[in-house]
Structure 1
Amino acid sequence: MFQCAYRDPYLLYTDNLLETPDDSSSLIHINEAHEIIYCVSGSLTANIEGVRYTVMPGDLLLIRDAEMHITAPETLPTQFHHIKFSPYYFNFFDTENRICRPFSEHPFGIGNLVPGSRLNRPLIENCFANIRGTRDAYMRRVAVFGTLMMILSDVNQCYDYDRSHHVDTRSAVLQEIITYINSHLDEDLNPDKIASRLYISRSQLDRIFKQNIGFTLWKYITFKRLIRARHLLHAGIANNEVARLCGFGDYSTFYKVYTKVWGRPPRAAQPNETTDPLLKQFYKFDDTASIIDATDELEGLFQRMKRLQLE
């Protein structure tokens, strides 16, 4: 259940308290947004690109855009804060692209957990308490934005960029599968060809992927392509060219899959006179911003979050 929440087209914040099994179903996510999860009490489990994490009170989980992940409470009750924000959110003043380095510079599934022992926990918790004290959408956006800035500033001071310090628990075969797919999204990723290239059988490929990632190989490939497509569309690349660059083969297939998952046609993601998806200028506060009512809009928000799960 949401205790406090805010949303607009580029920023989503929720303060979550999960007390019963009905509250705590696992959510499969892949987004074009960066995410932060801060555990307050209880504990969470996360499977990010096949790497499993346990998130304890005070720990911070960083999830970059296009990272496939499944999160669920490990114990009940569990409370955690969750912020999702556009990867372009700080473009208007962060000209060196340093604020989001802990997201953009970690490999998929590696280095996602920042232990609470490294963080300024009193600062972070005071920031979240300040959000709860706001009573209108305008000031809540200010509070969420300020909290996000403080957290990212703290993380940038303590984040360990040395990859050798982050343990990759995945098998060598799974690492190779994931690396190959993410490096060849514009090519023919027929599962039989992938299996042959990696010298394993198709059944082995499917089993390794399903057991470790949590869903099918083809769903993973499709979502990765769709996230890449979103970024290219936001940059103003023509729809037909986006379909080609993302490996869909033809525009008709791309259009059908894209519309099914995102709920709108590809052209809706293109920049225009009223839409600036790359946030070259910081967006104005308008009626798209709202404080989410935990009782009336909870189900609707969950449905929007689950929309990115292919049937």
Structure 2
Amino acid sequence: MSTLIDNQKKGYLYENFRLFHLKDKSNQEFEYHFHDFDKIIIFLSGTVTYLIEGKAYYLKPWDILLVNHHDIHRPIIDAANTYERIIIWIKPDYIEQQKNNSTDITACFTKAIEKSFNLIRLESDLLQKIQYLISELETALLSEEFGSDLLSNSLFIQFMVYLNRIFLREQYTNDTSFLKYDKQTEEVIRYINQHLSEPLSNQKLAHEFYLSKYYLMHKFKEETGYSIHNYILHKRLLLSVEYLKDGIPVMKAAQLSGFGDYSSFLRSFRKLFHKSPRDFMNSNEMNVSNNNKKLL
């Protein structure tokens, strides 16, 4: 899917999931960006602060971060120390397909959105099982032995089931000393994401939260790295993509996503995704067709 947006959308995922074990020491700086896949980050070493949707997480070894597709995020890395982490990219459609009436392994990502909380920090007894599953999964993914692909999928599902049990039962530390965020900005972000289909403006948000418009604009930019206008625009465009994937007609998708002006929607969509909504729908249908062929 050719939807790369310079300095904003990062990475391609063609597999159902992909695991990276990375260890480096560099002065690389990351800008705020997002993905169209879900991501799990297992922090192993270094000095890193991870910013996700206006919240700063100060990481300790074996902290786990749940980053939803379309979450705006970036790490701040101290280059003086070696940064080691395991990153798992997950295709949302794939884990969606794994759920049944009693089990939904996407629940941890859904819950992270509801709680506006993305971090799992475990005590040693619960951590041991995570470490074992990750080690087994890494080994299976590198193996060329018979059935290693099936074993990898099985271990990945086990890992996701265990992670959901921990997160949904809140079996992680409640210490908030590792977390820094502005409460008002969190409330503004939550309000925006719950009202994307409605008219939103700096003036309306300032009135809603009894703040000076200019103070709100400055504070939001400072906490999220985005202007309010660009944040709302990107979130609406990403929402429109979800509607288009569901087969909703372009004009209806634009309306449901909060665009009152269809020409502005088309212009913004092309600028962000480098293709028209109709071209996007056609390419998405092609991808679905190709995936169905693989299943035959």
Q: TM-score, normalised by structure 1?
A: 0.75
8 Å contact from structure 1 (residues 39, 79) kept in 2: yes
Listed as ranges, the matches of 1:236-251 within 5 Å are 236-251=247-262
Provide closer, same or farther for how the CA distance between residues 13 and 125 of structure 1 changes in structure 2, counting only shifts above 3 A.
Answer: closer
8 Å contact from structure 1 (residues 13, 144) kept in 2: no
1:236 positional shift: 0.3
Listed as ranges, the matches of 1:1-311 within 5 Å are 7-8=13-14, 11-21=17-27, 24-74=28-78, 76-96=81-101, 98-107=104-113, 110-117=116-123, 118-119=126-127, 120-130=129-139, 133-134=142-143, 145-161=153-169, 165=174, 169-270=180-281, 274-276=286-288, 284=294
| Amino acid in the other structure paired with 1:154 | Y
1:143 positional shift: 6.9
Distance of 1:79 and 1:283 partners within structure 2: 38
8 Å contact from structure 2 (residues 137, 156) kept in 1: no
Provide closer, same or farther for how the CA distance between residues 164 and 77 of structure 1 changes in structure 2, counting only shifts above 3 A.
Answer: closer
Distance of 1:152 and 1:110 partners within structure 2: 20
1:102 positional shift: 0.8
1:282 positional shift: 7.2
- Which residue is equivalent to 1:307? none
Tell me the matched-pair count: 277
1:54 positional shift: 1.9
| Amino acid in the other structure paired with 1:227 | L
8 Å contact from structure 1 (residues 15, 81) kept in 2: yes
Distance of 2:33 and 2:153 partners within structure 1: 23
1:160 positional shift: 4.4
1:276 positional shift: 2.5
Once the two structures are aligned, what percentage of the paired residues are identical? Answer: 24
Distance of 1:169 and 1:92 partners within structure 2: 35
8 Å contact from structure 1 (residues 130, 143) kept in 2: no
> Where does the alignment leave 5 or more consecutive residues of structure 2 unmatched?
1-10
8 Å contact from structure 2 (residues 22, 86) kept in 1: yes
Distance of 2:204 and 2:88 partners within structure 1: 38
Distance of 1:6 and 1:247 partners within structure 2: 27
1:48 positional shift: 1.5
Q: Which stretch of structure 1 is more off in the superposition, 67-76 or 6-15?
A: 6-15
Q: TM-score, normalised by structure 2?
A: 0.79
Distance of 2:210 and 2:151 partners within structure 1: 52
Q: Which stretch of structure 1 is more off in the superposition, 254-263 or 204-213?
A: 254-263
How big is each residue's C-alpha offset from its partner over 1:251-286, in whole Å with a ceiling of 9 and x where there is no partner?
222122222222332224437764339x9x87838x
How big is each residue's C-alpha offset from its partner over 1:194-239, in whole Å with a ceiling of 9 and x where there is no partner?
2122221111111110121122112211121122111111100000
Question: Aligned to 2:21, what secondary structure does the other structure show?
Answer: strand
Distance of 2:274 and 2:151 partners within structure 1: 30
Where relative contact order (Cα < 8 A, 6+ residues apart) is larger, the structure is: 1
Structural RMSD (CA):
3.5
> Where does the alignment leave 5 or more consecutive residues of structure 1 unmatched?
286-311
How big is each residue's C-alpha offset from its partner over 1:83-104, in whole Å with a ceiling of 9 and x where there is no partner?
2222221233412361111111
